[in-house]
């Protein structure tokens, strides 16, 4: 059943939403036992919301099950960003994006699994006590990261469903590609970050993941808009994204990004991307090769310097005093206590990025690393802006490989693991909207292409994706 049809049946009373949500929760439990897509299933909240919807079936999302990445605050539901250091933390408020979807009748079914604080590309850098989500097409392979649980449950669930993910350097389009679903990372500031547990303040973005581009358009319209509670929220008009689905793409221009960027592209991924370009050509879209030499050379090092620097600052507040995990003082000094808590509850990757980011910001290193990275980031933005004077969007593979096996990931060096994001970090550095579109199966595994647009041009990406959509 399509989302639009389901919402209509909820509003007409044809679907008993309370009974339906009981079945949804049971299905989620069964899926979770096998695939580990949830850190927390919010059964009590979901049933309470279903009761309210049954009494008053209103809103653009009336009765629709929605899963939420674990780093987005949901009032009264344990929210840990995939980290043991936040065990037991239940927010006293909803994130702005959550408030908006609840107002439109969404039912929150749970918090999805992720890399600890978003630190990873495979959803394998789990916090202590958390399980890795398994790819919905092959349990020996990963879901992609860091919104891996979002991508997995969207693909695996039999019920109409949208998930809210979060991206810092590719954490929406990466798992969308590996799980064969759509994933939209909007313009930085288009969706309020209020209530989002920070990884990198200047990089983090909340966006939707779904099986249908119509669902992406529906959800993006709802969660977008200015928020007086959040300083980076953009005060600019929000498009009716659903209207772009019906627009013709004939005459649009797309730049084909040099496929040599970063690591080499696997042949099946390259072929699927070229097939997608051919389909756009057949629809009247003009596609030409373009290059991003500055982004190609500096994207990865600049991203990791800026992201780690911001992460080391943001994670300083997790010290066992105000919320989350704690320990006994036992006469120890504050430094000894903080060290004990952080050593025990933070994972290896979190510690690594704290150390890297602290080094990049420290006296004597700040100008050479963090400030220089920020200056180069401006050059990356300028490089994209020059292309958008000519092109409506840019196209590339979302990720350069098919979903890898866990034992293959274990063999990667740290540098190899970081460069998996070679195609996705530059749009995130520039704060540009980008959308992963499923391209079908290769050897029983999903693949995706990524469209990148100019700031606030999410509509054009949806327009192009809709032209590729199979009814």
pLDDT tens-place string over residues 295-311: 999 999 999 999 999 99
Q: How far is CA 438 from CA 34, 209, 320, 428, in A?
A: 24, 11, 42, 20
Tell me the per-residue pLDDT of 441-471, one tens digit each, with 9 for 90 and over: 999 999 999 999 999 999 999 999 999 986 5
Would the pLDDT of 33 be above 60?
A: yes
Note if the bond before 146 is cis, omega within 30 degrees.
Answer: yes
Long-range contacts of 29-32 (CB under 8 A, 24+ apart): 31/153, 31/156, 31/157
Domains and CATH numbers, the chain: 3-244 (3.90.1300.10)
Strands of 70-106, DSSP E: none
- Backbone angle region of 162, left / alpha / beta, with phi > 0 → left and psi within -120 to 50 → alpha: beta
Coil, strand or helix: which one is 4?
helix
Residue 415 clears pLDDT 50, i.e. is over it: yes
Are the C-beta atoms of 414 and 146 separated by less than 8 Å? no
Q: Is the pLDDT of residue 259 over 80?
A: no
Helices assigned H by DSSP within 36-138 = 43-55, 96-103
Catalytic residue among 42, 121, 146, 147: 146
pLDDT at 86 over 60: yes
Q: Flag whether the pTM goes above 0.85.
A: yes
CB 119 within 8 A of CB 166: no
CA distance to 243, 449, 465, 471, per residue, from 247 (Å): 7, 21, 11, 15
Q: Report whether pLDDT(261) > 70.
A: no
Q: Which two tokens stand for residue 137?
A: 């097409």
Q: Is the predicted pLDDT of residue 130 greater than 80, yes or no? A: yes
Q: Is the pLDDT of residue 429 over 70?
A: yes
- Which has the minimum average pLDDT: 74-83, 250-259, 276-285? 250-259
pLDDT exceeds 60 at position 229: yes
Question: What token pair was written down for 178?
Answer: 């590996």
The owner of tokens 């040099």 is: 258
Q: What percent of the chain has pLDDT over 90?
A: 91
Q: For the residues 313-332, what does the mean pLDDT come to?
A: 86
Cβ neighbours of residue 421 closer than 8 Å, sequence gap 6 or more: 121, 169, 170, 174, 300, 303
Per 3-state DSSP, what percentage of the chain is helix, strand, and coil (rounded to 5)? 45, 15, 40
Q: How far apart are CA 151 and CA 35, in angstroms?
A: 12
pLDDT(65) > 70: yes
Give the integer Cα–Cα distance in Å for 410 and 334: 36
Q: State the virtual CA torsion across 86, 91, 92, 98 in degrees, nearest 10.
A: 170
3-state secondary structure of 70: coil
Task: Assess contact for 15 and 54: CB atoms under 8 A.
Answer: no
| Signed CA dihedral, 208, 214, 217, 222: sign only | negative
Short-list 8, 62, 89, CA closest to 325: 89
Which residues sit opposite 437 in a β-bridge?
A: 449
Q: How far apart are CA 461 and CA 454, in angstroms?
A: 10
From the candidates 69, 132, 205, 211, which is the catalytic residue? 69
CA distances from 426 to 239, 386, 437 (A): 25, 15, 18
pLDDT higher than threshold 50 for residue 262: no
69 part of the active site:
yes
Q: What is the chain's mean pLDDT, rounded?
A: 95
Q: Are 91 and 75 in contact (CB under 8 A)?
A: yes
Give me the phi and psi of 282, to 5 degrees please: -65, -25
Catalytic residue, from 42, 67, 121, 171: name it. 171
Q: Is 147 a catalytic residue?
A: no
Q: Are strands 434-442 and 65-69 parallel, antiparallel or unpaired?
A: unpaired
pLDDT in tens, 96-128: 999 999 999 999 999 999 999 999 999 999 999
- Structure tokens given for 285: 């879209």
Contact 297, 263 (CB under 8 A): no
DSSP line for 109-135: EEEE--SGGG--SSS-SPPTTPPPPEE
User: Which pLDDT belongs to residue 471?
Assistant: 52
Provide the residue count of the chain. Answer: 471
Burial annotation 20-57 (CB, 10 A radius, 16+ → b, else e): bbeebbebbeebbeebbbbbbbbbebbebbbeebbeeb
Interacting residues of 220 by C-beta distance below 8 A, sequence separation 6+: 184, 186, 207, 208, 241, 458, 462
Structural tokens at position 339: 């060290």
- Mean pLDDT over 165-184 rounds to 98
Told to judge if 103 belongs to the known catalytic residues of this protein, a careful annotator would answer no
Cα dist from 324 to 45, 70, 80, 197, 361, whole Å: 21, 14, 8, 13, 26
Over residues 396-406, the pLDDT tens digits come to: 999 999 999 99
Answer whether residue 263 shows pLDDT above 70. no
């Amino acid at each position: 059943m399509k989302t639009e049809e389901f919402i209509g049946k909820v509003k007409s009373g044809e679907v008993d939403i309370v009974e339906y949500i009981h079945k949804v929760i049971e299905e989620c439990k069964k899926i979770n036992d096998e695939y580990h897509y949830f850190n927390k299933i919010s059964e009590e909240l979901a049933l309470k919301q279903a009761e309210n919807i049954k009494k008053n079936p209103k809103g653009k999302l009336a009765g629709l099950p929605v899963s939420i990445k674990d780093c987005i605050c949901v009032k009264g539901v344990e929210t840990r960003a995939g980290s043991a250091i936040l065990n037991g933390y239940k927010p006293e408020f909803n994130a702005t994006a959550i408030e908006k979807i609840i107002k439109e009748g969404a039912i929150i079914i749970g918090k999805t699994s992720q890399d600890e604080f978003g630190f990873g590309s495979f959803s394998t850098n789990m916090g202590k006590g958390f399980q890795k989500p398994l790819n919905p097409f092959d349990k020996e392979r990963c879901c992609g990261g860091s919104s891996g649980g979002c991508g997995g449950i969207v693909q695996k669930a039999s019920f109409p469903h949208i998930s809210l993910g979060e991206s810092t350097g590719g954490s929406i389009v990466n798992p969308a590609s590996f799980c064969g679903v759509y994933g939209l990372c909007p313009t930085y500031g288009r969706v309020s970050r209020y209530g989002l547990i920070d990884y990198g303040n200047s990089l983090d973005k909340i966006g939707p993941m779904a099986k249908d581009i119509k669902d992406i358009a529906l959800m993006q319209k709802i969660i977008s808009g200015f928020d007086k509670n959040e300083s980076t929220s953009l005060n600019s008009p929000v498009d009716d994204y659903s209207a772009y689905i019906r627009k013709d793409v004939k005459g649009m221009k797309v730049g084909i990004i040099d496929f040599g960027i970063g690591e080499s592209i696997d042949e099946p991924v390259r072929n699927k991307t070229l097939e997608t370009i051919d389909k756009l050509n057949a629809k009247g879209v003009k596609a030409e090769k373009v290059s991003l030499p500055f982004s190609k050379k500096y994207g990865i090092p600049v991203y990791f310097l800026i992201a780690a620097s911001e992460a080391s600052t943001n994670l300083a507040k997790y010290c066992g005093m105000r919320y989350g995990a704690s320990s006994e003082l036992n006469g120890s000094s504050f430094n000894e206590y903080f060290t004990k808590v952080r050593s025990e509850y933070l994972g290896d990757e979190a510690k690594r990025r704290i150390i890297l980011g602290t080094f990049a910001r420290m006296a004597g290193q700040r100008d050479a690393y963090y400030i220089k990275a920020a200056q180069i980031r401006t050059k990356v933005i300028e490089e994209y802006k020059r292309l958008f004077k000519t092109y409506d969007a840019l196209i590339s593979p979302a990720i350069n490989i098919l979903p890898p096996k866990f034992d293959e990931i274990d063999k990667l060096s740290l540098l190899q693991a970081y460069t998996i994001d070679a195609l996705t970090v530059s749009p995130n550095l520039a704060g540009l909207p980008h959308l992963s579109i499923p391209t079908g199966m290769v050897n029983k595994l999903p693949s995706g292409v990524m469209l990148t647009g100019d700031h606030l041009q999410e509509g054009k990406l949806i327009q192009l994706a809709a032209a590729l959509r199979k009814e």
